[in-house]
């Protein structure tokens, strides 16, 4: 349960009371989005273990019946919230990857989007990175699938590079980056991780391109950050 009680008042995304003329599909979609956002917000405050259905429905501004129309229990709602958040995150990372011209630019763009999205929504980051590990075996399995997808993205990006890498290299890199992100989420320091993107790029390229190639990749990532800052 939430220690200080659930938020009171209407949510900004809550539909007007009474008749509003919206189609049923729009109402259902709005309810689901509010429930999923509530799961994220409650999880970041109470943790998955202490979160209750009552916390979710109070925060979302929906009835108990509405909640159970969509989800069987809090685990089902958590899994749906995780899938939704990670799905959007993966789409953004993949779009950044595909928009760049070369492997260094792709890696830098993907990492930048990943860290920016997590840093801009700390509650979502906590759910996806930390609390997912406490949400049961199915949640952990989905988290593992997310890690595999990110490893595949690295494999796709470095496919043309030569080096002593093997089938475990990308998996090891993703695991290491995850631990770096995990620690920053716990300490509330994700914003600071933006400055470390060039160093993360170096770590990714080191096993594939060696020290010189990794240093060149890091330098390119620094240039990309400078250009991005100048464009703002």
Could you tell me the two tokens for 132? 């997912």
DSSP 127: I
pLDDT at 25: 77
For the stretch 113-161, pLDDT in tens is 999 999 999 999 999 999 999 999 999 999 999 999 999 998 888 776 7
- pLDDT at 112 > cutoff 80: yes
pTM score, whole prediction: 0.87
- pLDDT at position 6 is 44
Give the pLDDT of residue 156.
84
Say if residues 66 and 32 touch (Cβ distance below 8 Å). Answer: no
Q: Is 134 left (phi over 0), alpha (psi -120 to 50) or beta?
A: alpha
Q: pLDDT band at residue 218, thresholds of 50, 70 and 90?
A: very high
Query: Which domains does the chain show, CATH number per domain?
Result: 1-71 (1.10.10.60), 78-231 (1.10.357.10)
Of the two residues 28 and 218, the one the predictor is more confident about is: 218
Q: Answer for the pair 175, 147: CB distance below 8 angstroms, yes or no.
A: yes
What CA–CA distance (Å, rounded) separates 11 from 41?
13
38-42, 157-161, 222-226: which range is least confident on average? 157-161
pLDDT at 228: 85
Residues 197-216: tens digit of each pLDDT? 999 999 999 999 999 999 99
pLDDT at residue 123 in the model: 97
**CB contact at 8 A, 57 and 67:** yes
User: What are the pLDDT digits (tens) for 57-80?
Assistant: 999 999 999 999 999 999 999 999
Express as a percent the part of the chain with pLDDT over 90.
74
pLDDT reading at 107 higher than 90: yes
Q: Which two tokens stand for residue 43?
A: 């999880």
Could you give the 3-state DSSP secondary structure of residue 59?
helix
6-17 pLDDT, tens digit per residue, is 444 555 555 555
pLDDT for the residue 205: 94
């Amino acid at each position: 349960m939430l220690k200080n009680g659930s938020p009171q008042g209407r949510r900004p995304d809550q539909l007007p009371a009474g008749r509003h003329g919206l189609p049923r599909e729009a109402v259902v979609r709005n309810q689901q989005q509010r429930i999923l956002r509530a799961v994220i917000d409650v999880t970041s405050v109470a943790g998955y273990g202490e979160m209750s259905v009552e916390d979710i429905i109070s925060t979302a501004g929906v009835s108990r019946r509405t909640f159970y129309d969509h989800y069987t229990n809090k685990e089902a709602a958590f899994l749906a919230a995780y899938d939704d958040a990670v799905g959007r995150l993966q789409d953004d990372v993949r779009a950044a990857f595909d928009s760049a011209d070369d492997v260094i630019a792709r890696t830098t763009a993907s990492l930048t989007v990943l860290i920016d999205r997590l840093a801009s929504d700390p509650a979502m980051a906590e759910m996806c990175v930390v609390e997912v590990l406490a949400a049961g075996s199915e949640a952990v399995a989905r988290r593992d699938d997310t890690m595999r997808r990110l490893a595949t993205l690295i494999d796709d990006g470095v496919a043309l590079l030569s080096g002593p890498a093997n089938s475990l290299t990308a998996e090891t890199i993703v695991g290491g980056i995850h631990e770096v992100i995990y620690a920053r989420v716990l300490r509330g320091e994700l914003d600071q991780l933006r400055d470390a993107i060039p160093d993360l790029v170096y770590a990714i390229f080191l096993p594939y391109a060696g020290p010189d190639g990794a240093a060149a990749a890091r330098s390119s990532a620094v240039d990309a950050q400078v250009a991005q800052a100048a464009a703002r």
